[in-house]
Amino acid sequence: MMAAGKKETEEKKPTPQDTKRSLRDDAEENLSRSPKSFSDLEGQTPEQLIHELRVHQVELEMQAEQLRVAQLALAESRDKYLDLYDFAPLGYLTLSDKALITNMNLTGAKLLRVERSRLAKARFNKFVAEKNTDEWHWYFLNLLNQGEKRSCTLMLIRGDGTAFPGRLEGILITGSDGTNTVRIAFTDISDITQVEETLRESEEKYLNSIENR
């Protein structure tokens, strides 16, 4: 019984000829519904019919050219966006609602000194110093739950084990399908922290000199 049923199913599979016939039937049905049917062409001379066909052909060629130009413009715009994204002065990354990396630009990968191909689906907290893991956890949860732009400063660990102070600016993005993602811009602020440390040391030295007078 099962073999017979299987054979019957195989016999009912559409052949290429059936598919071709179905497409032709659909085309003829669509043509009959078009504003300009065959009845509109009755009474026209062969020359007039040829002229109509040539005009229609030119219209199709013009539409194809417009589509080609639009596709080229779209590709050019996409390439410019990718260049701006990848070579921006800041690191950009996108995280899933589970804090998994779904995308990162080249600048971000260079800041972390990791090949970008190795970052896909990695947890970002692996690049956060252990002393800042709790701070990172609450920062990410607040981004998810409150949806407001937030910033924080964390000590980040590069792929080679060296560390640097990173400034993070994040925001929640909700897609049309309701999926939540977090986008974060981050940068190395070692220079800023070094200047702040130098100013603090200078201030302490100045205060000590006054007290010792």
Give me the domains of the chain, ranges plus CATH numbers: 19-83 (no CATH), 89-197 (3.30.450.20)
pLDDT class of 146 with cuts at 50, 70, 90:
confident
CA distance linking residue 85 with residue 105, whole number of Å: 6
User: Global pTM?
Assistant: 0.58
pLDDT tens column, 54-91: 777 777 788 888 888 778 777 777 767 666 778 788 99
Contacts 24+ apart (CB under 8 A), 59-65: none
Burial class, 46, CB count within 10 angstroms (exposed 0-12 / middle 13-18 / buried 19+): exposed
- What digits encode the pLDDT tens for the residues 109-134? 999 999 988 998 999 999 999 999 99
On the question of pLDDT at 208 being above 80, the answer is no
DSSP letter, residue 116: G
Q: Which two tokens stand for residue 152?
A: 């924080």
Q: How far apart are CA 129 and CA 157, in angstroms?
A: 6
